[in-house]
Amino acid sequence: MIAEPQKSTRRDHQGAATLKAAKNGYFHSGFALVLVAAASLLAATFVTACETLTVDFVFVTSAKAAGTENYGEIDVFEINSESGRMRPIPTSPFPSAGRNPVAEAVSADNENLFVANQDDNTIVQFIIGSDGKLYPYNTVNTPGIYPLAVTANKSNLFVVDTYQPLPLCSNADPCSGSIAVYSLSTASGNTPVTIGSPAVNTAVNGTYWPLTLSGAGSAHVIVPTAVTVLANGSDVYISAYDSSVTPTVGYVFGFSIGSGGVLTPLGGSPFAAGVKPSAIASDPSSTYVYATDFASGNVRGYKVSSGNLTPLSGSPYASGNQPSAIAVDPSYSYAYVTNSLDGSVAAFSMSSGVLSRIGTFATGLQPVALGIDPSTNHFLYTANFLDNTVSGFEITTSTGSLLDSQFSPYSTNAQPTAVAAVPHNGTGAGVQP
């Protein structure tokens, strides 16, 4: 039975007040509005930033929290620029404003966090304060059922749902997944980024694009797993697999992004992607795409040419057992893959897109997500689902190897599922185009 979606809206003038308060530090935490002395808050923020040398704020969603409804929470950590130590900020954690948060994305201006709450079919928008605190601003329902992945650029928010919004789609009677695209306004003054209406797909007369095969496979159930948008904003790719055959067959679905976020399937899509792809990422030059194969324990690399994907030389590249997430360093020629069964991160160097194994580094139990700090691209962190921790690492920029950050690993709430980060003071190499 599908969970009844929850809806929440806020008026524009309230949103403007929220943004202004977040920037100036007038909120205390969560949903409560508490006026505090601006001078005291400014002094406290200054002391915190100076004493800890904060370079980034990292947001870690946890699927389970206290209470009968098991609403999720978001732990917020600050990263020390010298030691890489991740320390919870005051008043962390924050409610995720929904049940079972499974994915996160940050707006291009680094002032908003979007959290997908799977069991509520919602995307919750939080305004990020200058001190890393989170202030819920808006909630939208996803067009499909059970959102599982989300990403954003300057213009659009992309959401992948487990099932299309069809009457008979459910866990008992599954159907193929879908992708939806919401427009994002540009922040101006005290008016924050605003989530607009989802783009319309005239082919289905709906606000989603089905992830389906053609011909004999048109009735097969396609299970999406992750999404990435090219840095240049031209194309978006979704990793998925065909669950109607044994063994499963993996694909990458590709769409070009048109005016208003309208999607058009790429000519060669879907592209072959092994057995069971679990994660997907693209490089900052928009030249290469990588998909991890959970079943085969490897990474498949592709070169992007007019949107179409061509396998790279030597692909696939061995990673480890049950790879679950992948990240490409925006500043250095390295890529990193979490191996969930091994409890490790595999490091790769990149040369013309081709991956070469550097080494493997231990994490906590069952890492399911990882990120690279967007300010310096020098620190890496993994969310470890089974032992409720985050592992922190410092990237050796000359070799790509990883060193444990001070006091790593760090405790989170139960069952961490996703990570996202913003630079301290909203600046750094991680700002999206």
State which residues form the domain around 316: 136-426
Give the other-Cβ count within 10 Å of 130's Cβ. Answer: 18
How many domains does the chain divide into? 1
Q: How far apart are CA 95 and CA 83, in angstroms?
A: 28
Angle at the Cα of 270 from the Cα atoms of 293 and 418, rounded to 5 degrees:
45
DSSP state for residue 260 in the 8-state scheme: G
Q: Which is nearest to 287 in space by CA: 352, 337, 357, 372?
A: 352
Q: Calculate the CA dihedral of residues 128, 157, 104, 366 and round it to 10 degrees.
A: -160
CATH of the domain at 297: 2.130.10.10
pLDDT in tens, 238-256: 999 999 999 999 999 999 9
DSSP state for residue 22 in the 8-state scheme: H
Would 360 be classed as within a structural domain? yes
Would 217 be classed as within a structural domain? yes
Radius of gyration of the chain (CA): 20
Would 254 be classed as within a structural domain? yes
Would 10 be classed as within a structural domain? no
Q: pLDDT (tens digit, 0 to 9) for every residue of the chain, 433 residues total?
A: 334 334 443 334 445 555 555 655 444 333 333 333 333 333 344 444 444 489 999 999 998 765 556 789 999 999 999 999 999 999 999 999 999 999 999 999 999 999 999 999 999 999 999 999 999 999 999 999 999 999 999 999 999 999 999 988 999 999 999 999 999 998 888 889 999 999 999 999 999 999 999 999 999 999 999 999 999 999 999 999 999 999 999 999 999 999 999 999 999 999 999 999 999 999 999 999 999 999 999 999 999 999 999 999 999 999 999 999 999 999 999 999 999 999 999 999 999 999 999 999 999 999 999 999 999 999 999 999 999 999 999 999 999 999 999 999 999 999 999 999 999 875 443 333 3
How far apart, in Å, are the Cα atoms of 141 and each of 11, 88, 195, 197, 391?
17, 30, 11, 10, 32
User: How big is the chain, counted in residues?
Assistant: 433
Q: E strands of 219-296, at which residues?
A: 222-229, 235-242, 249-257, 263-265, 271-272, 277-282, 288-293
Q: How far apart are CA 355 and CA 274, in angstroms?
A: 17
Q: How far apart are CA 191 and CA 30, in angstroms?
A: 20
Burial 140-178 (b: 16+ CB within 10 A, else e): bbbbbbbbbbbbbbebbbbbbbbbbbbeebeeeebbbbb
Q: How far apart are CA 422 and CA 77, in angstroms?
A: 11
Would 290 be classed as within a structural domain? yes
Tokens of 228: 């990435």
pLDDT in tens, 176-210: 999 999 999 988 888 899 999 999 999 999 999 99
φ, ψ of residue 111 to 5 degrees: the values are -110, 0
How far apart, in Å, are the Cα atoms of 366 and each of 294, 340, 384, 386, 391?
13, 4, 5, 6, 11
Would 46 be classed as within a structural domain? no
Would 68 be classed as within a structural domain? no
Would 44 be classed as within a structural domain? no
pTM assigned to the model: 0.88
